[in-house]
A and B are shown apart, each in its own frame.
Chain A
């Protein structure tokens, strides 16, 4: 199990790196799906099978399909790939890279001395649902209102 965690972590990092370095948008999307699936494997290893499956169903299965659908609708072909490549040549990488590196260093610094070995215990669907419809029922309601708002506004925005 523990080796699975590290394999999935390496896959996730490399494929995410491919996402932000890729100029072809469809390839980038496939790498992003791979990254999300790797994270789902990590969730499973960490004892959250429900979250892992939701990650695969909702994130990789539904949200990314929306992306792909929009890419198809906009018909971003070879021209946009070339354009993307020309945009990526610019030196705009330096400052954001440094900023992100500083952030990462800070986080690593904070997390480095936090040592605790976690033993993955499976937290099943039942516990999560008991919490969801118990103390966190307000969160569920808010999430549903948020989704409704998203639905209405997406319909309004994408309408001709």
Chain B
């Protein structure tokens, strides 16, 4: 290992690349998928000059050279709509996942670390939240308070933390009972230092897995809301495109096929990444 790292490597195969390619196949495929999607979404203006909002009289055109993914009922270029729609989906996914991971991590860490009555209370609340049909709650809340990026992020984020909280709490509980934590206490470390210096580093990989799965699940939740007509019409996401596609299902297959592929590719990539980072599919399989 050490010798391999110190050997000079050719420019086309730097050490990090070699290491990456040797990691589990799901990590490699997953990160490539995510990379393609993110690059496409960020570089949208370079990929197509079409304006996703520009109306035209070329309505419901089949995919062709001028419009690789066809056009919709208002003559807008579907490729542009998919690329720019990814921005809405990814932004909502990222931010609501960020919110739920921060919440879940805090609650999981506190419950696992302090144990006792605090743990008992927090876990009962977590369980209750987990049993609640989160998507239906989201539907009711968004219907009542109105759609919009911020509202969607808040609602999805505030409803999705239990999965992360349980994973982190389980992990922290295991670590809490390791002897090195008792040893750290006896080394004179304050509880904050024990938490930050001894517990947290052993939780990070689980947090990464959880975060990647949370982004996937948040994008999925957003598409669900959009499909029910609760998306933000000013920022059409993939889910919203699919809702519009539903209306022309028998006339314009491309309006459902392409946004769906983008959506599934992103979620698959993130799930694969989560699986790969966890080293086996078991962590992903036991997220409850």
Q: Do the two chains bind? A: no
> Which residues of A come within 8 Å of B, CB atoms?
none
> Which residues of B come within 8 Å of A, CB atoms?
none
